[in-house]
Amino acid sequence: MIEVEVKAKLSNKTERKVKNKFNFKKEIKQTDYYFNHPNRDFKKTDEALRIRKTNTDTYLTYKGSKLDEKSKSREEYEIKVSDFEETKKILTKLSFRKPKEVKKTRQVYEKDSTKIYIDNVKGLGKFIEVEKIANETEYKNKLHKCIKLIKDLGIDENNLEKRSYLELLEN
């Protein structure tokens, strides 16, 4: 599975457009704990391994290297896990390095097969993410649709943010 995702800093004007054009689904609190591999630096390989805690659930996610220069699109594998602390212990026992934390409140909007996230990230402010799920043959087409949508919301394609929230917080 490929997560096709474009992201940008959010203006008040764009936020109003999203709220007027898309269906609000829910608001969730998320804390992401990013781990680094003991033998290779995920920062250099552009990969990510995280545990995400939400209001009600916990997920373990691996993200591969980004696929293009404009977006954050990448291969992604995610499983729901029953116990955050036990999952964290397993990764620590396997020598994964101490996790770094990203906290955010996420508003989820949806229309057709597109998800729009308005993220308020602690220490960074508000961002918008436009996301579609694709397989390898659909990837380019869905990326084009995500970029078109973000342009329609008033965001210049040159202002897309390819860095993760963790990368932004570290800089």
Residues 63 and 45: beta-carbon distance below 8 Å: no
Q: How far apart are CA 22 and CA 157, in angstroms?
A: 21
Beta strands in 17-167 (DSSP E): 23-36, 48-53, 58-66, 74-81, 97-111, 114-121, 125-134
Question: What is the number of structural domains in the chain?
Answer: 1
Q: Rank 35-44, 62-71, 101-110 by mean pLDDT and report only the highest.
A: 101-110
- Structure confidence by residue, pLDDT tens digits, 5-48: 999 999 999 999 999 999 999 999 999 999 999 999 998 999 99
Single out the residue of 108, 171, 151 nearest to residue 6, CA to CA.
151
Domain extent at residue 30? 2-170
Checking if the pLDDT of 71 tops 90, the result is: no
Q: Is 77 assigned a catalytic role?
A: no
Active-site residue (options: 34, 109, 117, 165)? 34
Look up the CATH number of the domain holding residue 130: 2.40.320.10
pTM comes to 0.89
Residue 100 exposure: Cα atoms within 13 Å on the Cβ side: 13
- Structure confidence by residue, pLDDT tens digits, 130-149: 999 998 889 899 999 999 99
